[in-house]
Structure 1
Amino acid sequence: MEVAQVLHMNGGVGDASYANNSLVQQKAISLAKPIREEAITSLYCSRLPRSLAIADLGCSSGPNTLFVVSEVIKTVEQLCRKLNHKSPEYRVFLNDLPGNDFNNIFMSIHSFKEKLQTEVEGGIGPCYFSGVPGSFYARAFPNQSLHFVHSSYSLQWLSKVPEGVDNNKGNIYLSRTSPSNVVRAYYEQFQRDFSFFLKCRAEELVEGGRMVLTILGRRNEDPCSKDGCYIWELMATALNDMVSEGIIKEEELDSFNIPQYTPSPSEVKLEVLKEGSFVINRVEMAQVNWNPLEDWNGVEFESERCESVSDSGYNLAQCMRSVAEPMLVSHFGGHIIEEVFSRFQKILADRMSKEKTEFSNITILMTRKA
């Protein structure tokens, strides 16, 4: 699997699109809002930049894409009014892999800026947008060109499927039956990727620049705990059932592995400390229910989206389909997709009705050392 070619969310605005199936990700972004506000406030007050460069890495497309940018600009404009400063100009860089639906983003920018001008009393400073296609596991920006870097629900994705995992039979990710060499290979790939990510961002951020990352992770230190890999185990159950019925070949399943690693907070902090370019200001964990509507706590979202996701099993299956479908199609072919997700939906609904099911998120705030 060539990850850079197949790892992208479903584009467009159809039933299986990421744009219409990203409430889990929206909830994760919402929960990290206080940390982002802390980062932006301390950054602006310490530097008072006339031109503020913001990068969102793994931006995807849809209603979540510009949410953080809007939030950052509103926070800065409030600070400008409070300090009696002129608004800065905003340079916004939206990064994702080349297969991302950038056209959908670009078509929404004009209305986004118009809406923001009306929402902020007195208007906002000039705002310039750029799309930056490419992997964030490489340099993406010039030296010391960014003030604030944000990424949410992206860094659990690896640059590639780890090598040496051919004996991960019957699994598509880590599980309780994964051999020790497979577990080690996944962890070592995460270490290499995350360390290089930090090195690249350290070169691109100005001294004192801030970075806020929210990563799908796990509370348990065991990489094979349900906390970190249960969702993929349940998808593997659907695929194994299809193997037993002759719909999928066993060797096809055995050669398919998800390029993801859900780290623990200690694993994230260890790599930051080893790389050495950042001060860790804060690390927090938050839980998001597999059905985010169960504990939304009043956060606003479009009512029509709410109405379409009353079935929690269907809701989560569609969410996972918007993320995983391109990888599954690339490996197995498009003819299996409807059957896989029909089975997956039933398995999810069963599990969600019988136990508490949550995603664990790690949010880390860092400052680029001088």
Structure 2
Amino acid sequence: MASSGASDRRELLVHMNAGKGESSYANNSSLQKNLILKAKHILEETITRLCSYYPPNCMKVADLGCSVGPNALLLISNVINIVDTVCTRLNHELPTFQFYLNDLFENDFNTTFKSLPDFYTKVLQEKRCRSGSCFINATPGSFYGRLFPSNSINLFHSSNSLHWLSQDPLLGSSLNKGHCHIVSTSPPEVYKAYLTQFQQDFKLFLKLRSEELVSGGAMALLFLGNQENPRITGWELISLILNEMFLEGLIEEEKMDSFNIPVYEPTVEEIRHVIEEEGSFFIQQLEILVLPWDKGLSEWSDDSSLDGSIKAELMAKHVRAIMEPLLSTKFGEEVITEVSMRYQKKVVQLMQVEKEKLEFATLMISLTKNA
């Protein structure tokens, strides 16, 4: 999720927790899985258009910011199922599939690769594609740089990644002193700096992908957005916690002042403006999905059956799986445990004491490359 060039310093930081341990992203990404399932209609409609007008002999699909764990393979499974359904309806022959899993060089691709033999066996047993007709490769690198040859990819997919910026938007600035993300007390210049960085990054992303897509190629994108209503975000909560720890002397001032979470959640209009200004894509669908923070946290039980403390614990684990590499590199490994404990306590307080309505918004976008 990092960029090349000036932003290479981030490439060792912004990746999810590796492996299959208790704090791993692979075991704490059911919320992201829930989002992928809820956005499946966007993927279905994108692929239906693609296969109806530009049916490929070899369907080349790249999943940008795939991270680690079962969600990367869920996307592959969904694509194969959808293409099979569309081809059956249109009486087209099922294409060969070539999937490219993309993330930063430090991403834990190996954990995903180790599950491929079982995945291939399952695909063949379910007869969703022929033996030797599905190929899966890794393409490490930043999606803010070129990844593929020109006119080579049919479909780009990205889920829960594009809200990450290519670099710290406030690098070397003291505009947001004492905080590491946009908070309610941040001056307007902080918001503007984050927005400007996002606009530059997303415009570059669109330009690069348009060069790599074939004629009629498409993208299905899913990432955090802003519903334009005042609300506390998970990033703001982390900033408030780090500020508390700084005031208590647990974090050095120099480290606090030189750290900002490189994430921006754009509004629908901000997204629309960048897409139209860049000009390479036609917007087929642009929807916003608003869900509670605790929606889809557990794979094993209905969210409504969990009490508040369990929900808060699961939320803290989810945040740790995402933020541990970034925070531990900056502040030390011992800080992440304290941040996780405080995050859990604050979520309980917000939900049960202050009765705060904790929600997050997700943008779901389908784009087609302009002729």
So what's the TM-score if we normalise by structure 1? 0.91
Contact 2:43–2:220 (CA<8 Å) still a contact in 1? yes
Letter in 2 for 1:185: A
Contact 2:87–2:94 (CA<8 Å) still a contact in 1? yes
Q: Which residue of 1 aligns with 2:287?
A: 284
Q: SS where residue 181 of structure 2 aligns?
A: coil
Letter in 1 for 2:318: C
Runs of 4+ in 1 over 6 A off after TM superposition: none
Contact 2:180–2:260 (CA<8 Å) still a contact in 1? yes
Written as runs of structure 1 = structure 2, the 5 A alignment for 1:173-188 is 173-188=181-196
Deviation of residue 304 (structure 1)?
8.3
Q: Which residue of 1 aligns with 2:133?
A: 126
Q: In the superposition, relative to structure 1, how do residues 319 and 302 fare at CA in structure 2: closer, same or farther (>3 Å)? A: closer
The reply to whether residue 153 of structure 1 matches residue 160 of structure 2 is yes
Q: Which residue of 1 aligns with 2:178?
A: 170
Select which of 209, 214, 220 maps to 2:222: 214
Deviation of residue 122 (structure 1)?
6.9
Q: Which residue of 1 aligns with 2:351?
A: 352
Written as runs of structure 1 = structure 2, the 5 A alignment for 1:1-370 is 2-120=9-127, 123=130, 126-162=133-169, 163=171, 165-220=173-228, 225-226=230-231, 230-293=233-296, 302-303=299-300, 311-353=310-352, 354-370=355-371
Aligned length: 359
So what's the TM-score if we normalise by structure 2? 0.91
Deviation of residue 305 (structure 1)?
11
Q: SS where residue 257 of structure 1 aligns?
A: coil
Letter in 1 for 2:286: V
Contact 1:172–1:256 (CA<8 Å) still a contact in 2? yes
Distance 1:184 1:302 in 2: 38
Distance 2:23 2:204 in 1: 33
Distance 2:153 2:53 in 1: 15
Q: SS where residue 272 of structure 1 aligns?
A: helix
Q: In the superposition, relative to structure 1, how do residues 121 and 67 fare at CA in structure 2: closer, same or farther (>3 Å)? A: closer
Q: SS where residue 206 of structure 1 aligns?
A: strand
5+ residue gaps, structure 2:
1-6
Q: SS where residue 12 of structure 2 aligns?
A: helix
Deviation of residue 241 (structure 1)?
2.3
Distance 1:119 1:347 in 2: 45
Q: Which digits, 9 at most, give the CA deviation of each residue in 1:249-290, with x for residues without a partner? A: 233222211011100011111111011011111100101221
Letter in 2 for 1:328: L
5+ residue gaps, structure 1:
295-300
CA RMSD of aligned residues (A): 2.2
Contact 1:88–1:125 (CA<8 Å) still a contact in 2? no
Contact 2:16–2:25 (CA<8 Å) still a contact in 1? yes
Deviation of residue 362 (structure 1)?
0.5
Contact 2:80–2:129 (CA<8 Å) still a contact in 1? no
